[in-house]
Amino acid sequence: MLVAAAVPATHPAGATGAAAAGEPFVVSGSSLVQDGLDLVWNLQLAKPFSPSALRGEHRTLCLLIERPTNGTVAGQACVAARGPRGTPTLLYQRVTAAGPGPASMMTATITRSSSSGWTASFQPSQVGSGYRPLRWQVISTLSRRGCTPAVPGRSRCSLLFPAEPAPLRLHTPQLVGCAPSGRSEVFSGPSNERDIALTFDDGPWPTPPAMDFVNLLAREHVPATFFEIGEHIPQFDASGAAERAMLAEGDMIGDHTWSHPEMTRLSTAAQESELERTVAAIRQRTGFTPCLWRPPYGAVDPQLVSLARSLGMLTIMWDVDPSDWALPGTSVIYLRVVSAAHDGAIVIQHFGGGPRYETLRALPSEISTLRARGYRFVTVAQLLGLKLIYR
């Protein structure tokens, strides 16, 4: 959801469309908005520019992040280039009374809409901010001989856009859903990325409590995907506290039907009820609508896959199964997972439907070994590149 609009262009008296050799670049328009988790900075100059040429021309283009209370600059994100190809990037510097500090490369998605335009998306933490109000301006500078400073005594020429800092009120984004795309039935993710998705079925459950899984994964900084049985939610997580904690920690919640039946034995109406009742139970407690479901026992057919897709859900299967439901022992679960792991794997384990202490105890070793082998842990939604929906 966009929560701010673009600021109209303003130029100093006498400024023309293209900057003269001794003037900073003229900004013809810019905006800073919130879109879900990200801040999106759009910049449009009056003439073409190359990020890789800015330094050689003694120019800078920076987004100033200013405190809303007194207007002082807290930091600046400056256009730059890296590598031999001059890949566009952003460098962030914290600003204090002593001036800008060391520059660090930001994690940002950058696109060029035209030779004179720029769009960069990044999370507020990249510019030292949370989801709280701020003010912003773009500063375009030129520091070389022959430039006439706008303020006498300064060694650099600079232009600010807009002329006064623009306010931006941010809000903490709430995950409310995800958009299904791609194949309707999925067994694994892309095999060209070293990603792996840990998934857990049959909860919430009391032995051990679902929060034990959530907390362990949070300590390990591992996002996971939990497929929940609807009738277990009012029994074992009536307030939705565990589910909300999952979403807050970056985990994903999926639908595992209301009562865990063999779905292919049911009528279409009964199948739809099993799925929709669970979605309603999850949404009621979290505001989140799942776009993933997993068939109990893996029992599925094309008609059921099609039905789930019509309800906005992908059918998520798996290709690594340690059979932890059979309680084979912690070391067996661990060995089965790490020996079968591969790029793009979807691992099925359980956090309900029986005592799952063995699975919980196996997790730290699984995570440590897989991480040492270079795997990155992702949710199923991340593995498949699904768009998350925030408000």
Active centre residues (catalytic): 201, 350
Residues 168, 34 contacting (CB under 8 angstroms): yes
C-alpha torsion angle, residues 310, 350, 383, 317 (rounded to 10): -50
d(CA 31, CA 142): 22
Distance CA 272, CA 219 (A): 37
- Three-state SS at 270: helix
**Are 295 and 167 spatial neighbours (Cβ–Cβ below 8 Å)?**
no
Interacting residues of 231 by C-beta distance below 8 A, sequence separation 6+: 258, 259
Alpha-carbon torsion (340, 299, 199, 184), positive or negative: positive
How many Å is the Cα radius of gyration of the chain? 26
Query: What is the C-alpha separation between 122 and 40, in angstroms, rounded?
Result: 7
Cis peptide bond N-terminal to 167, omega within 30: no
Phi and psi at residue 282, to the nearest 5°: -70, -45
**Quick one: 294 exposed, middle or buried, by C-beta within 10 A (0-12, 13-18, 19+)?**
buried
Alpha-carbon distance of 290 to 256, in angstroms, equals 10
Residue found by looking up tokens 């790490």 in the block: 338
What is the rounded distance in angstroms from the CA atom of residue 156 to the CA atom of residue 143? 4
Alpha helix stretches (DSSP H) within 190-254: 210-219, 232-236, 241-248
- The single-letter code of the amino acid at 339 is S
